[in-house]
Amino acid sequence: MRRMAALTIVAVMVVACSDSGAAPVETPVGLRSDPPPLTLYVSNQSYAEPEVGITVTVDGEVVVDERFPVRDQHHVVPFTVDIDPGDHTLTATSDSGTEHTVEFTVPDGAPWWAAVLYWWYPEDGPPEFTVDISDEPISFG
């Protein structure tokens, strides 16, 4: 019985995959079936500034424009950014005027991860961003 079910499934797959003469269905631009090319994490790590406005652009297009509370410094907000493979520029700007820009390359078909963290400890100097970009998922401790 199992062999018959398996043979039926194989037969259906062969018929479904055969050339029916129909035009192939194309995936609309912006829709992907594979993992998103960029998972972006944004966080405010400053108790001195309990809420900060952060804008993140990729190639000049705004992908994040929100206010981020510090909460317990473990409040990391994920965003999915659909970008094409190739060279890109990411810029993070705070409403206090702090800015940080990095360039990165996304290989064809490979997902990437980025973490944009806002820091300000007044005794250590002006506010700053750290930006980490990786070809592996980023973990937060």
Q: Tens digit of pLDDT for each residue in 84-102?
A: 889 999 999 999 899 999 9
Count of structural domains within the chain: 1
Enter the pTM of the model: 0.73
Whether 21 is covered by a domain: the verdict is: no
Whether 3 is covered by a domain: the verdict is: no
Whether 47 is covered by a domain: the verdict is: yes
pLDDT in tens, 21-69: 444 334 344 444 455 689 999 999 999 999 999 999 999 999 999 999 9
CATH number at residue 44: 2.60.40.180
Whether 14 is covered by a domain: the verdict is: no
Buried/exposed 32-47: b ≥16 CB within 10 Å, e otherwise: eeeeebbbbbbbbbbe
Whether 8 is covered by a domain: the verdict is: no
Instruction: List the domain range (segments joined by +) for residue 74.
Output: 34-134
CA nearest to 53, candidates 38, 39, 42: 42
Whether 19 is covered by a domain: the verdict is: no
